Amino acid sequence: MKSHLIKLGYLFLFISLSFSSLAQNPKGFDKMAKNMADKTVPIIKSSQVVKLQKKSKKIVFLDAREIKEYKMSHIKNSIHIGYDNFDEKSVKKVDKNATVVVYCSVGYRSGKIGKQLREMGYTSVFNLYGGLFDWANNGNKIYNSSGEIEIVHPYNKKWGKWLKLELRGETK
């Protein structure tokens, strides 16, 4: 009986570890994401965003990637504002007191835009930790104009390594 319980315990541990690894980012992701983030803009993790959404907190998502990336994959109801050609006009309809979460692929571009938004008077601006890659790697839904999708625009091959294989449309 005791050996049966031990085997059952090991099975439970194996299954738990297997499922917990499903929500993890690729090796080295956290170090990269921390280095990319602009330290002048508060970071918010995807799990924190999801908790706020469950509490019916209205969040305005701003996508600081280029239009090609946005069209292929984005967070539902996000507003495309771009990076290279970011213009104050693209956010004129956003309430300056709204909770704003800016994201890009991994957090670099969104941090720079977040800093500009704060300088423009937006009071509650956050940079999404690890960007859309972390959002998707942790099982949160992504969309394009047709609806929910399963592939994220990787920006390029160098940056695509931070996405799980299945989110790049690849298999092992």
What residue ranges do the domains of the chain occupy?
25-168
The CA distance from 137 to 160, in Å, is 12
Residue 125, SS3?
strand
The CA distance from 27 to 29, in Å, is 6
The CA distance from 48 to 54, in Å, is 10
Tens-of-pLDDT digits for all 172 residues of the chain? 544 434 433 333 333 333 333 457 888 888 988 888 878 899 999 999 999 999 988 999 999 999 999 999 999 999 999 999 999 999 999 999 999 999 999 999 999 999 999 999 999 999 999 999 999 999 999 999 999 999 898 877 888 899 998 898 775 5
Looking at this protein, which amino acid is placed at residue 70?
Answer: Y
* Domain range 25-168, CATH architecture: 3-Layer(aba) Sandwich (3.40)
Single pTM value for the model: 0.82
